[in-house]
Structure 1
Amino acid sequence: MKRSRRKFSAEFKTKVVLEALSERLTASELAQKYEIHPNQIAQWKREFLDRAAEVFERSGKPEQQQSEEDATQLYQKIGQLQIENDFLKKKLLS
């Protein structure tokens, strides 16, 4: 009978990688501790190190994205208020 694939959370992977980076235990010992293959630990570690710089590159983007969304909502509100204002001016002058 085939075993189904296990899915690991990002928190679990991070925990394993950080422990691997501390080098207190060997990859084989970590693999035995967490019941995963040593190659899997090496792969997660390599991926973690390759993407480490992205953490600092993206540090300002979520805030910037939020301000862009806020600006879009404000422009929509301004447009709506302008239409209402024009409508009321026409009604007042009629």
Structure 2
Amino acid sequence: MSRRPRRNHTPAFKAKVALAVIKGEKTLAELAQQYDVHANQITTWKSQLLEGAAGVFGAETRPDPGQPAIDLKAIHAKIGELTLANDFLAGALVKAGLPSAKR
């Protein structure tokens, strides 16, 4: 007996199957046979859909924990430093007799 190769289902297919389960028009066994997917897999997709449904409407607007908070004061300080350095170097170019980068 040969094993079936591993299948990768698209997110659209998973959503379609999970929505069919939520509608409740057919039993889990009927849907598993119709879509040729194991019933446990359909149950998993259903639970994932129900857990993530609130995110569709923007209920969870928490920032990603992997992203550091943006420090605007530090960014503005750095912009000031770079502007000061550019002005200094532009003046040094003019004093050296070289063409300025400003046009």
What is the TM-score when the length of structure 2 is the normalising length?
0.60
Q: Which has the larger radius of gyration?
A: 2
Once the two structures are superposed, the pairs formed by residues 43-62 of structure 1 within 5 Å of their partners are 43-55=44-56, 56=58, 57-58=60-61
User: Shift of residue 82 of structure 1?
Assistant: 4.8
For the pair 1:8 / 2:9, whether they are aligned, the reply is: yes
In the alignment, what sits opposite 2:100?
Answer: none
In the alignment, what sits opposite 2:37?
Answer: 36
Identify unmatched segments of 5+ residues in structure 1.
none
In the alignment, what sits opposite 1:21?
Answer: 22
Query: Which structure has greater helix proportion?
Result: 1
For the pair 1:90 / 2:92, whether they are aligned, the reply is: yes
CA-atom RMSD in angstroms: 3.1
Once the two structures are superposed, the pairs formed by residues 70-89 of structure 1 within 5 Å of their partners are 78=79, 82-89=84-91
The 4+ residue runs of structure 1 with deviation greater than 3 A are 78-84
Q: 2:35 & 2:84 partners in 1: Cα distance?
A: 62
